[in-house]
Amino acid sequence: MSSSHNSEGSRPFRAGERVLLVDEKDRRYLVKLRPGADFQTHSGVIDHDAVIGLEEGSTITARRKESTGRKVLAVRPTLSDLVVKMPRGAQVIYPKDLAAILLAADLFPGAKVLEAGVGSGALSMAALRAGCNVVGYELREDFAERARANVTDLLGEQSGYDVQIRDVYDGIDERGLDRVLLDLPEPWRAVPHVATALRPGGILLSYLPTINQTAELRRVLEEFPFALAETTEVLVRSWHVTRRSVRPDHRMVAHTGFLTTARRSTNAFGARADEEREDPGVANGLG
Ligand code: SAH
């Protein structure tokens, strides 16, 4: 069973599981605990045996030849930690976007989800953690392998995960899908297949790096039975907080990608009617 799906209580760290070590300068290391092994950090050497048996949230003093090392905090990694630290072939979707996708695509336990392309499996992990059953289409064998390995390694054996080597532009075999998640360069080429594979009311979600691609997707969505199309981007500003100084951090990630969602309708009323719809700001009395 995956450690990520069960409450840990205050169970101590055991050999074979992953631990996130964080030093005083917030440098983070993801380590798989093995008896007798050691791990080199900027703060000194950590013996795995010093972590095994400890309670989560403990601090360990790193070992140094000439001086005492610094303190390092040991916690179990969150899904965000895993996504940022895991080995990747393709670019992954970052935590701020994964968080938004969970609700934008309304991912729910037991949902029948098709995902293409799978890449390194970051989005797969978020969907699986939300309880979805995921069929993945991926062009490249090496990425498919990497995604399967990342998912099993980080979430444990997943029965509801099936990655197939195939091109989603050529067609989708599944029917009655609740959700389709697309992270590939030309999602509009998949739209005709998605229109058939998605059940009415189902949600298509696409993640795209440029607005040109997004505009093309929106144009093609209007030609098929989809309604309620929406495009958003997620800007997250982190803050620097100390006793003396509380302010936004100087740097933030300015751009990753645009999220577009649309719902499968039974007829193509979408486009025209949408244009005539009231501006949501006006409808909410905010206009
Ligand atoms: N969402 C993934 C990253 C996907 S990267 C994550 O979070 O980790 C985009 C992937 O789409 C690449 O692996 C690429 O090989 C795959 N891809 C591109 N075109 C495709 C197609 N037509 N069918 C299936 N997969 C495709």
Q: Which of 172, 181, 182, 184 to mutate to test the pocket of ligand 1 (most atoms within 8 A of CB)?
A: 184
Look at residue 1 in the predicted model and tell me its pLDDT: 39
Q: What is the pLDDT of residue 91?
A: 86
Tell me if the pTM is above 0.85: yes
Angle CA 66–70–73, to nearest 5: 145
pLDDT digits (tens, 9 = 90+) for 8-57: 677 999 999 999 999 999 999 999 999 999 998 888 899 999 999 999 99
The Cα–Cα gap between 177 and 200 comes to: 9
Give distance in angstroms: CA of 115 to centre of ligand 1.
9
**Centroid of chain to Cα 232:** 17
Q: What is the DSSP letter of 169?
A: G
Q: What does the pLDDT read at residue 271?
A: 47
Check residue 110 and give its pLDDT. 97
Token pair recorded at residue 154: 């980080």
- Tell me the three state secondary structure of residue 241: strand
**pLDDT score, position 201:** 97
The ranges of the chain with pLDDT < 50 are: 1-4, 270-274, 287
Please tell me if the CB atom of residue 224 comes closer than 6 angstroms to any atom of ligand 1: no
Q: Is 94 in the pocket of ligand 1 (CB under 6 A)?
A: no
- Distance from the CA of 27 to the center of ligand 1, in angstroms? 30
Structure tokens at 98: 């994964």
